[in-house]
């Protein structure tokens, strides 16, 4: 089957094993295909030899990149198992990308630029010069990026709140919001499964804002229910260093506070040391505006990055969070204890509140209390919880 023909309607096509489908991506009106079922091998012919580009299965799409960048490249597909393909009408797809969905449009632009970096002179991915693993991980990453973009649109990202308690008396002081992906098939996905990819695809900002909004809403509801006891409770929300210093950050946060009705004093923003190192002037200016708004700032994972005293001095910080890697060893290794002591006294000299992360055992909590740390967070007290679990937990903790 050859596809120079104009196809304007979407339709199904069956590809039997060893049927070949030569498709020219980017030919005017040339379609892309969604694999409904079966397995398809995509290859390119070079000097009469089949060079495998990818093996795709149910739910995968091929031929779509050229619809986006208009580049013409020829490849062939062969069914490995009886395959049912859904032919995607390019005009429909383009309309969808241009008009209906700015997020998808942006993702596609990123994907196209990423693919260009591995496209050879022949105009197709160079599987012969690219290790097979790279081809596969590239395709895998593209699929995940597409899935993340879709999940953002469907607002599948929510916030789990983990309590932060005062070491002096065990009372709840606040919460950290941790992003969770409520995946329709995979269930709850932890941040390690999407934050790094979302960061590299420049999608993490959307997740951060969804998570912040959800966290602010939850805390507002909790405050409404608990009244005076909860007056000083705050929620700490992670913001990726890749967009913290963006000019719109302050306006976004102000808008979320207004929309959710949470007072600015109940919000903390957690940033890591990478924010400070990448552009300290821009970061300091955003931090100062947040401070003026009444939002506080915590330095996360303190001790694992590069923050120097000079940076600390320039940021209007409120809180230092001591990384779990130091807490792990605090009761076992005298060296870790020395480091934790130094960090706590640094916090004290900058008048910062201190939070120890990842407390799993009572002996760790006792040692940190003795060392003068203010707050603690960890499985010893509670795991991160979605709103539906948090409310009963609060009842039992009362």
Which residues would be at the binding site for Ca ion (CB under 5 A)?
A: 238, 270, 300-301, 357
| Pick 25 or 357: Cβ nearer ligand C2E | 357
- Segment holding 215, helix H or strand E: helix 204-226
> Which 8-state DSSP code applies to residue 379?
T
Residue span binding ligand C2E (CB under 6 A) among the ranges 44-52, 112-120, 204-212, 365-373: 204-212
| 135, 156, 218, 240: which one binds ligand C2E (CB under 6 A) | 240
| Pick 218 or 240: Cβ nearer ligand C2E | 240
Angle at 130 between CA 125 and CA 134, to 5 degrees: 95
Residues 6 or more apart in contact with residue 215 via CB below 8 angstroms: 159, 161, 175, 177, 235, 237
| 190, 309, 332, 342: which one binds ligand C2E (CB under 6 A) | 190
User: Minimum CB separation from ligand C2E for residue 313, in Å?
Assistant: 23
The option from Ca ion, ligand C2E, none interacting with 190 (CB < 5 to 8 A, set by class) reads ligand C2E
Instruction: Give how far the C-alpha of residue 167 lies from the chain's centroid of Cα atoms, to the nearest Å.
Output: 31
| 38, 163, 191, 303: which one binds ligand C2E (CB under 6 A) | 191
| 40, 203, 358, 364: which one binds ligand C2E (CB under 6 A) | 358
User: Minimum CB separation from Ca ion for residue 301, in Å?
Assistant: 4
96: helix, coil or strand? helix
Can you tell me the distance from the alpha carbon of 31 to that of 39, in angstroms, rounded to the nearest whole number?
19
User: Minimum CB separation from ligand C2E for residue 113, in Å?
Assistant: 22
Other C-beta atoms within 10 Å of 111: how many?
21
Q: Is 353 in the site for ligand C2E (CB under 6 A)?
A: no
**Which of these, 164, 209, 188, lies nearest to 380 by C-alpha position?**
164
Q: Which residue has the tokens 């089949």?
A: 50
| Pick 23 or 326: Cβ nearer Ca ion | 326
Residue span binding ligand C2E (CB under 6 A) among the ranges 9-17, 46-54, 341-349, 354-362: 354-362
Q: Is 179 in the site for ligand C2E (CB under 6 A)?
A: yes
Can you tell me the distance from the alpha carbon of 62 to that of 156, in angstroms, rounded to the nearest whole number?
26
The option from Ca ion, ligand C2E, none interacting with 358 (CB < 5 to 8 A, set by class) reads ligand C2E
User: Minimum CB separation from ligand C2E for residue 301, in Å?
Assistant: 6
User: Minimum CB separation from ligand C2E for residue 321, in Å?
Assistant: 7
Beta-sheet strands, E only, within the chain: 11-15, 20-25, 32-46, 49-56, 61-62, 73-88, 157-166, 172-183, 187-189, 234-238, 267-271, 296-302, 319-322, 353-357, 375-377
107: helix, coil or strand? helix
List contacts with ligand C2E (CB under 6 A): 162, 178-179, 190-192, 195, 204, 207-208, 211, 238, 240, 300-301, 357-360, 377-379, 384
């Amino acid at each position: 089957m050859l596809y120079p023909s104009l196809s304007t309607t979407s339709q199904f096509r069956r590809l039997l094993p060893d049927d070949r489908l030569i498709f020219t991506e980017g030919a005017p009106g040339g379609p892309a295909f969604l694999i409904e079922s079966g397995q398809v091998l995509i290859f390119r012919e070079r000097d009469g030899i089949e060079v495998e580009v990818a093996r795709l299965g149910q739910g995968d799409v091929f031929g779509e990149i050229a619809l986006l960048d208009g580049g013409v490249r020829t490849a062939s597909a062969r069914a490995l198992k009886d395959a049912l393909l859904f032919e995607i009408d390019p005009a429909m797809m383009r309309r969808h990308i241009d008009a209906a969905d700015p997020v998808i449009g942006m993702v596609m632009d990123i994907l196209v630029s990423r693919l260009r970096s591995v496209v050879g002179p022949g105009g197709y991915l160079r599987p012969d010069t690219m290790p097979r693993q790279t081809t596969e991980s590239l395709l895998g990453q593209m699929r995940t990026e597409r899935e993340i973009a879709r999940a953002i649109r469907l607002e599948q990202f929510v916030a789990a709140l983990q309590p932060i308690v005062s070491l002096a008396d065990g009372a709840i002081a606040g919460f950290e919001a941790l992003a969770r992906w409520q995946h329709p098939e995979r269930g709850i996905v932890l941040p390690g499964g999407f934050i790094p990819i979302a960061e590299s695809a420049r999608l993490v900002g959307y997740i951060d804002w969804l998570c912040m909004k959800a966290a602010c809403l939850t805390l507002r509801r909790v405050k409404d229910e608990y009244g005076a006891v909860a007056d000083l409770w705050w929620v700490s929300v992670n913001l990726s260093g890749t967009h913290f210093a963006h000019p719109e950050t302050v306006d976004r946060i102000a808008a979320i506070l207004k929309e959710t009705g949470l007072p600015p004093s109940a919000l903390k923003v957690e940033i890591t040391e990478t924010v400070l190192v990448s552009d300290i002037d821009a970061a300091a200016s955003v931090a100062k505006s947040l401070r003026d708004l009444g939002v506080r700032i915590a330095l996360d994972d303190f001790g694992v990055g590069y923050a120097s005293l000079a940076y600390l001095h320039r940021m209007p910080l409120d809180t230092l969070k001591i990384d779990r890697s130091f807490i792990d060893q605090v009761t076992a290794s005298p060296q870790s204890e020395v480091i934790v002591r130094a960090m706590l006294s640094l916090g004290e000299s900058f008048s910062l509140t201190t939070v120890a992360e990842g407390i799993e055992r009572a002996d760790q909590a006792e040692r940190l209390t003795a060392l003068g740390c203010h707050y603690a967070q960890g499985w010893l007290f509670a795991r991160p919880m979605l709103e539906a679990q948090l409310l009963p937990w609060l009842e039992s903790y009362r």
